[in-house]
Chains A and B, each alone.
Chain A
Amino acid sequence: MQKKIIKLSIILLIIFIIGVFFIGLNKNSIYDTKNLVGQKITKIELEHFSDNRIITAGDLRKNNFTLINFWASWCGPCRAEHPILLKLNEEKNLELLGVNFKDKKNNALEFLKDLGDPYDDLARDELGKHSINFGIYGIPESILINKDLVIIKKFIGPISKNDYNYIKNIVRQ
Chain B
Amino acid sequence: MKTKVIIFFIILNFNVVNAITFSVDSNKILKNLRCLICQGQSVADSNSEFAQTIKIVVKDQINDGKSEKEIYDFLIEKYGEWIVYKPPLNKVNFVLWIFPYLALISGGVIIFLFLKKRDNH
Chain A contacts to B: CB under 8 angstroms? 31, 33, 35-36, 39, 102, 127-129, 131-135, 137-138
| Given known A-B contacts A31-B36, A138-B37, A132 and B80 have beta carbons under 8 A apart | no
Majority DSSP secondary structure for residues of A touching B = loop
Q: What string of 1s and 0s marks CB contacts (under 8 Å) between B37-55 and chain A?
A: 1000000000001101110
Contact call A137/B57, Cβ cutoff below 8 A = no
Q: Does B10 belong to the interface (CB within 8 Å)? A: no
Q: How far is the CB of A26 from chain B (nearest CB, A)?
A: 20
Interface size class of B (residues with CB under 8 A): 10 to 19
Q: Does B56 belong to the interface (CB within 8 Å)? A: yes
Q: Which of A31, A102, A131, A132 gathers most chain B CB within 10 Å?
A: A132
Bound-complex Cα distance A138 to B37 (A): 8
Contact call B49/A128, Cβ cutoff below 8 A = yes
Contact call A36/B54, Cβ cutoff below 8 A = no
Q: Does B25 belong to the interface (CB within 8 Å)? A: no
| Given known A-B contacts A129-B60, A137-B37, A138-B37, A33 and B80 have beta carbons under 8 A apart | yes
Contact call B36/A137, Cβ cutoff below 8 A = yes
| Given known A-B contacts A31-B36, A138-B49, A132 and B57 have beta carbons under 8 A apart | yes
Q: Does B85 belong to the interface (CB within 8 Å)? A: no
Q: Which residues of B contact A31 (CB under 8 A)?
A: 36, 82
Q: How far is the CB of B30 from chain A (nearest CB, A)?
A: 13
Bound-complex Cα distance A127 to B55 (A): 11
Q: Which residues of A contact B53 (CB under 8 A)?
A: 102, 127-129, 131-132
Contact call A135/B60, Cβ cutoff below 8 A = no
Bound-complex Cα distance A5 to B98 (A): 24
Q: How far is the CB of A90 from chain B (nearest CB, A)?
A: 31
Q: Which residues of B contact A128 (CB under 8 A)?
A: 49, 52-53, 56
Bound-complex Cα distance A146 to B78 (A): 18
Contact call A135/B79, Cβ cutoff below 8 A = yes
Q: Does B77 belong to the interface (CB within 8 Å)? A: yes
